[in-house]
């Protein structure tokens, strides 16, 4: 059982690149990841129906471990919340939407998911993903 | 003309809204350039074109199916925040409309209230936050007042459109609390809200259907 990760962004290129960066940190194929990003005409945008499908796909590949969603901002948040209205109740109950910063949070989430961490802990650690950067950059 | 909505009249409303947004496209974009990311006009045009295409290709069997088709078209084709916001509004209207073939003044009012509740829940905007809520909330209140007196529909919708326009005008001195405009803080004051502007077009178009 491995938690599935969904990345929601206004930009397909941004989401794919963030996933590629985070995937460098874990064994290949160890975490089910799905992307829902960009408008149908390849401009910037989000699509709640596409996000709902990505959540269901990631959940299906998680063998019951559930899903953590990482997202950028603005309509990504609103569309993801609407997507939760569109998925079956049991899938919704197994899905956590993380307020983590997208790139840092995704890296932390992928590493945790790859070692079999439960979704609540994956989401909690992702939410604290800015801490190492903050402490590193803090004034001495 | 019967004093109730049915699928052909709803389609006329949707088509009229698309045309109104098309005509106001430059204005919406100009308003959104001032405080947003300049895409409200183009996003709404894309979403409404898809919604009109969806209901013409497969005419919905009832009012609930109509609203659901429109809602999902907007959700999947708008791209920006107005997609999930208008999408939620229409999807919630569809839940209340259900399998009804016609929506008389009372039931349509319940649809509007459910749409407003969904909009507020999705966007978490309060009155005064400089959003589409500032146009829709007074519109629904004005509709309800006329509906409580028994109508007719055109009077309720005309009152709603006037209240929406007043609410839209009232967004100009407000400081934005939601969305991209909120990053500007007090610098958002003095600009009319694009979402409240398109919402007013929605109610003005509805009134025209029964005029």
Q: Report the share of chain B in percent with pLDDT over 70.
A: 100
pLDDT, average across residues B158-183: 95
So what's the pLDDT on residue A107?
97
Q: Is the pLDDT of residue B202 over 80?
A: yes
The confidence band for B140, taking pLDDT boundaries of 50, 70 and 90, is: very high
Domain B5-210 has CATH 1.25.40.340: yes
Please name the residue of chain B whose CA is at the shortest distance from the CA of residue A82.
Answer: B84
Q: CA-to-CA distance for A72 and A59, rounded, in angstroms?
A: 20
Tell which phi-psi region holds residue A46, choosing left (phi > 0), alpha (psi between -120 and 50) or beta: beta
The reported pTM is 0.93
- Burial class from Cβ neighbours inside 10 Å (0-12, 13-18, 19+) for residue A88 reads exposed
- Could you give the C-alpha distances from A9 to A64, A72, B60, B180, B209, in angstroms and in order? 25, 5, 32, 16, 38
Would you tell me which CATH number, out of the four given (3.40.50.510, 3.30.565.10, 3.30.420.40, 3.10.20.30), belongs to the domain A4-139?
A: 3.40.50.510
Sequence ranges of the domains in chain B: 5-210
Pair of tokens at residue B19: 């045309």
Contact call for A82 and B122, based on CB within 8 A = yes
Q: How confident is the model at residue B159 (pLDDT cuts 50, 70, 90)?
A: very high
Q: Do A43 and B79 touch (CB under 8 A)?
A: yes
> B43, B70, B75: which to substitute to probe chain A, counting the most A Cβ within 10 Å?
B75
Q: Which two tokens stand for residue B102?
A: 């016609």
Please report residues of A whose CB lies closer than 8 A to that of B76. 40, 47-50
At residue B35, the pLDDT reads 87
Answer whether residue B183 shows pLDDT above 80. Answer: yes
At CB < 8 Å, which residues of chain A contact B? Answer: 10, 39-41, 43-50, 74-75, 78-79, 81-82, 85
Check pLDDT > 90 for residue B180: no
CB contact under 8 A, B78 and A81: no
Cα distance between residue A28 and residue A34, in whole Å: 14
Contact across the interface for B75 and A44, Cβ inside 8 Å: no
pLDDT band for position B1 (cuts 50, 70, 90): low
Interface of B to A at Cβ within 8 Å reads 39, 43, 46, 72, 75-81, 83-85, 87-88, 91, 122-123, 179-180
Q: E strands of chain A, at which residues?
A: 4-9, 33-37, 67-71, 95-97
Span B7-62, pLDDT tens digits: 999 999 999 999 999 999 889 989 988 888 888 999 999 999 999 999 999 999 99
What's the average model confidence in pLDDT over B130-157? 97
Query: If DSSP states are collapsed to H, E and C, what string results for A99-110?
Result: CCCHHHHHHHHH
Scanning every residue of chain A, which has its alpha carbon at the shortest distance from the alpha carbon of B180? A74
Query: pLDDT tens-digit profile of B60-113?
Result: 999 999 999 999 999 999 989 999 999 999 999 999 999 999 999 999 999 999
- Put simply, the answer to whether A49 touches B76 (Cβ < 8 Å) is yes
Tell me whether residues A82 and B77 touch, CB distance under 8 A.
no
Q: Mean pLDDT, to the nearest integer, of B143-156?
A: 96
- To the nearest whole Å, the CA of B124 is away from the closest chain A CA by 10
Q: Which residues of chain A have pLDDT under 70?
A: none
């Amino acid at each position: 059982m491995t938690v599935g990760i969904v990345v929601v962004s206004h930009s397909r290129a941004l989401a794919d690149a963030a996933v590629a960066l985070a995937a460098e940190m874990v064994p290949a194929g160890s975490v089910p990841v799905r992307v829902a990003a960009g408008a149908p005409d390849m401009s910037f945008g989000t699509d709640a129906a596409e996000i709902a499908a990505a959540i269901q796909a990631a959940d299906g590949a998680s063998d019951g471990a559930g899903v953590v969603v990482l997202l950028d901002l603005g309509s990504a948040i609103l569309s993801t919340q609407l997507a939760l209205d569109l998925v079956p109740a049991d899938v919704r109950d197994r899905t956590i939407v993380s307020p983590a910063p997208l790139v840092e949070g995704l890296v932390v989430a992928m590493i945790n998911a790859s070692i079999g961490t439960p979704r609540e802990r994956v989401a909690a650690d992702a939410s604290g993903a800015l801490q190492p950067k903050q402490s590193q950059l803090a004034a001495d | 003309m019967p004093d109730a909505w049915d699928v052909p009249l709803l389609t006329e409303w949707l088509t009229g809204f698309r045309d109104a947004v098309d005509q106001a496209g430059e204005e919406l974009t100009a308003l959104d350039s001032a405080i947003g990311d300049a895409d409200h006009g183009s996003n709404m045009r894309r979403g409404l074109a898809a919604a009109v295409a969806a209901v013409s290709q497969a005419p919905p069997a009832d009012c609930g199916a109509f609203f659901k088709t429109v809602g999902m078209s907007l959700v999947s084709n708008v791209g920006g925040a107005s997609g999930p916001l208008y999408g939620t509004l229409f999807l919630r209207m569809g839940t209340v409309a259900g399998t009804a073939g016609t929506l008389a003044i009372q039931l349509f009012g319940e649809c509007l209230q459910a749409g407003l509740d969904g909009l507020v829940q999705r966007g978490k905007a309060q009155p005064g936050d400089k959003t589409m809520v500032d146009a829709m909330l007074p519109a629904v209140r004005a509709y309800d007042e006329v509906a409580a007196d028994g109508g007719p529909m055109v009077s309720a919708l005309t009152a709603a459109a006037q209240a929406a326009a007043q609410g839209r005008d009232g967004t100009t001195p407000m400081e934005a609390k939601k969305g991209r405009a909120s990053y500007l803080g007090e610098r958002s004051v003095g600009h009319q809200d694009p979402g409240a502007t398109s919402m007013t077009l929605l109610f003005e178009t509805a009134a025209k259907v029964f005029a």
